[in-house]
Amino acid sequence: MFELGQSREAAARFEAIASAPIVGDAPAVTPGRTARRSAWMLTQAATAYAAIADTAQLVRLGAAVERYGHNTSNGRDRRLHHYVRGLLLEARHDWAGAEAELRLAISSPNLGYTRINLELTRALVAQNRPREAILV
């Protein structure tokens, strides 16, 4: 739905998935697994809200992703809130602030969440720094 330009509906679905109970064997459904799924789905919702510049939702989701991310054992999850905050700053045209947050979001330059690199590139180009953007 996001790729079809239906960002608000995509965001609502991602949020619904984030709050739905995980179905499976009881031993496999741990608080960490639930937090990881919630952090990831809310990050996807944030991407959709950013596409329609809904900054109020980005503020809310930045805090939620940070809260869930700190309850997982995955290093990437602990940094995802910086991505959401980078999206917020991009929406506000604070390119230097967005760059700083997006750099903090990167857990691995080539094995992490590639969309962070895309948004960081956008922020660098907006600051008239295309040579640096190529490296990202």
Question: What's the CA gap between 43 and 1, in Å, rounded?
Answer: 15
Q: Are 97 and 89 in contact (CB under 8 A)?
A: yes
On whether the pTM is more than 0.85, the answer is: yes
24-73 pLDDT, tens digit per residue, is: 666 667 889 899 999 999 999 999 999 999 999 999 999 999 999 999 98
Query: Is the four-CA dihedral 40, 47, 11, 53 of positive or negative sign?
Result: positive
Tokens of 71: 């309850």
* Average pLDDT of every residue of the chain: 93
Look-up of token digits 């031993």:
27
Residue-range domains of the chain with CATH = 7-135 (1.25.40)
Q: Torsions phi, psi of 8, nearest 5?
A: -65, -40
Question: What's the CA gap between 99 and 77, in Å, rounded?
Answer: 19
